[in-house]
Amino acid sequence: MATPPRVSSPPYSTAASPNHAPVKRVGTHNGSFHCDEALGCFMIRLTDKFANAEIVRTRDPQVLETLDAVLDVGGVYDPSRDRYDHHQKGFLEVFGYGFSTKLSSAGLVYKHFGKEIIAKELQVDEDHPDVLCLFLAVYKSFMEAIDAVDNGINRYDTDKPPRYVNNTHLSSRVGRLNLDWTDPDQSSEKENEAFQRAMALAGSEFLESVRFHARSWLPARSVVLGCLAARFDVDPSGEIMVLTRFCPVSIIYARTNSAKDQTTFIVYLFLIERWVWLSTVEASPV
């Protein structure tokens, strides 16, 4: 289990870990923080390379140059040197696999270390097929929104004002952990304590997403894919699927192609006690 993060500002400690190995140091900027670097710092400490690393918050380029990894500051994206900034001119990196949202520092860390983190959570090898499956699912359902919010990308292409304001999402909640302007103590120590809380909040929700997908989404997906493959045994149209057992099919996003057209909905049936339930699911990639 990872130890609580040590968050410091220069000059920083040169303490060694219990096995006397030098402590790895991961840099990010000081001042106001956002969800992406808080989550990125949390995730990178889950890796073997940066397990329990100290977080150093500074914008001093001379200090950043000495650190083992740098997130969200420094103007460099170079994974060979563990530099993961996204603010520099010309940065257009995306996750791949059909996703087109520009990455934040959290997305960069996830892109390069996400499979390792998920494999450790599942306690399987990194090349296990479930790892890639969860790697993509967690990006789609959790990580992409972090990237989009940090890069100012709206969910919809429209010039119409939103009907309501949503400040309950993770990025907003992390942002509210910054020191308030009315706080009498504006020291770097207090700021770093707030950043520790931000890391804990963002990290706990990330792990919750990974564990939910491993515990619930992945088994449900297996059930749905099996029933989807057998749907033509139910009806020649392929538009009726019978679930062999109840599972949250609406989170699996089943898709099929009709001979006539793209099927928009699949009708599915399942039994609860003596009742037969009928429902539909909007078609989308599994």
Measured at the CA of 269, the angle between CA 219 and CA 222, to 5 degrees, comes to: 15
Q: Which of 76-85, 86-95, 242-251 has the lowest mean pLDDT?
A: 242-251
**Contact by Cβ (8 Å): 244, 229:** no
Tell which residue, 77, 66, 53, 49, has the closest CA to residue 10: 66
Q: What is the reported pLDDT for 252? A: 56
Q: Residue 229 — pLDDT band, cuts 50, 70, 90?
A: confident
- Whether 259 has a pLDDT exceeding 50, the answer reads no
- How do residues 141-167 score in pLDDT, each as one tens digit? 999 999 999 999 998 888 888 899 999
- Whether 253 has a pLDDT exceeding 80, the answer reads no
- Whether 13 has a pLDDT exceeding 60, the answer reads no
pLDDT above 90 as % of the chain: 64
Q: What is the reported pLDDT for 263? A: 45
As a whole number of angstroms, the distance between CA 14 and CA 33 comes to: 24
Q: What is the reported pLDDT for 176? A: 98
Q: Residue 261 — pLDDT band, cuts 50, 70, 90?
A: very low
**Contact by Cβ (8 Å): 189, 143:** no
Q: What is the reported pLDDT for 247? A: 77
Q: Residue 246 — pLDDT band, cuts 50, 70, 90?
A: confident
Q: Residue 19 — pLDDT band, cuts 50, 70, 90?
A: low
Q: What is the reported pLDDT for 2? A: 58
Q: What is the reported pLDDT for 86? A: 98
As a whole number of angstroms, the distance between CA 14 and CA 189 comes to: 18
Query: Within 10 Å of residue 198's Cβ, how many Cβ atoms?
Result: 25
Interval 88-109 mean pLDDT: 98
As a whole number of angstroms, the distance between CA 93 and CA 108 comes to: 8
Q: What's this model's pTM, rounded to 2 decimal places?
A: 0.86
Mean pLDDT of the chain: 87
Taking the CA atoms of residue 125, residue 69, residue 39 and residue 32 in that order, the dihedral angle to the nearest 10 degrees is: 180
- Whether 43 has a pLDDT exceeding 80, the answer reads yes
Q: What is the reported pLDDT for 159? A: 85
Q: Residue 273 — pLDDT band, cuts 50, 70, 90?
A: low
Q: Residue 15 — pLDDT band, cuts 50, 70, 90?
A: very low
**Residue carrying the six token digits 């972090």:** 146
Q: Residue 21 — pLDDT band, cuts 50, 70, 90?
A: low
Tokens of 71: 């997130």
- Whether 8 has a pLDDT exceeding 90, the answer reads no
Give residue limits of the domains in the chain: 7-221, 230-282
Q: What is the reported pLDDT for 224? A: 81
